[in-house]
């Protein structure tokens, strides 16, 4: 007779790939190198992790050792001094899921610059070193919708 016996240990905190697109039709992406040092660590089940979800607003790093790479956009203009807090440096929404790789190395990622997305399913960081991103603000959504040259992200 079939049966189930749970394994040893306690349950783990679940996480998975964020879905942020309203439609996959007509999306356009560009490749970038994501700087591992730009992603804040968070503690999950007592372990330090660097998880970056698709739908996170990404911006160019213009100064420091990671100049030329990208990292998560932050509205914190005081704590983030490498260019990622300038709306002029926003390049789009992350499409690549990075569940652990950033603990070890920089990685190549895809960034969407043209698509239809759900604003409530997209993220931005609001403070330097903040472990958890916040829902995308209307101000940042305006820049993604075309205020920045080359970006055409429509939000529903």
Q: Tell me how far apart the alpha carbons of residues 32 and 120 are, in angstroms, rounded to a whole number.
A: 24
In this predicted structure, the answer to whether residue 154 has a pLDDT above a threshold of 70 is yes
pLDDT score recorded for residue 7? 67
Fold classification of 21-155 is: Virus Head Decoration Protein; Chain: A, (2.40.300)
The set of residues, in sequence order, having a beta carbon less than 8 Å from that of 25 and lying 6+ positions away, is none
- pLDDT tens-digit series, residues 33-73: 999 999 999 888 888 999 999 999 999 999 999 999 999 99
Q: Are 56 and 93 in contact (CB under 8 A)?
A: yes
Q: Give the range among 2-6, 77-81, 91-95, 145-149 with minimum mean pLDDT.
A: 2-6
- pLDDT tens-digit series, residues 80-131: 999 999 999 999 999 999 998 999 999 999 999 999 999 999 999 998 888 8
In this predicted structure, the answer to whether residue 1 has a pLDDT above a threshold of 90 is no
Q: Which two tokens stand for residue 84?
A: 């990622």
The whole model's pTM is what? 0.91
């Amino acid at each position: 007779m079939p049966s189930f016996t749970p394994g040893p240990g306690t349950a783990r905190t679940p996480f998975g790939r964020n879905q942020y697109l309203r439609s996959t039709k007509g999306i356009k992406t560009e490749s970038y190198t994501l700087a591992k040092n730009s992603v804040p660590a968070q503690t999950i089940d007592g372990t330090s992790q660097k998880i970056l979800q698709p739908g996170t607003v990404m911006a160019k790093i213009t100064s420091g050792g990671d100049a030329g790479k990208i990292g998560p956009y932050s509205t914190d203009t005081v704590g983030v001094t490498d260019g990622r807090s300038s709306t002029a440096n926003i390049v789009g929404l992350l499409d690549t899921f990075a569940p652990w790789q950033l603990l070890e190395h920089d990685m190549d990622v895809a960034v969407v610059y043209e698509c239809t997305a759900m604003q409530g399913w997209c993220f931005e960081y609001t403070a330097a070193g903040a472990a958890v991103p916040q829902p995308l603000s209307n101000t940042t959504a305006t820049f993604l919708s075309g205020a920045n040259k080359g970006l055409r992200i429509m939000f529903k």
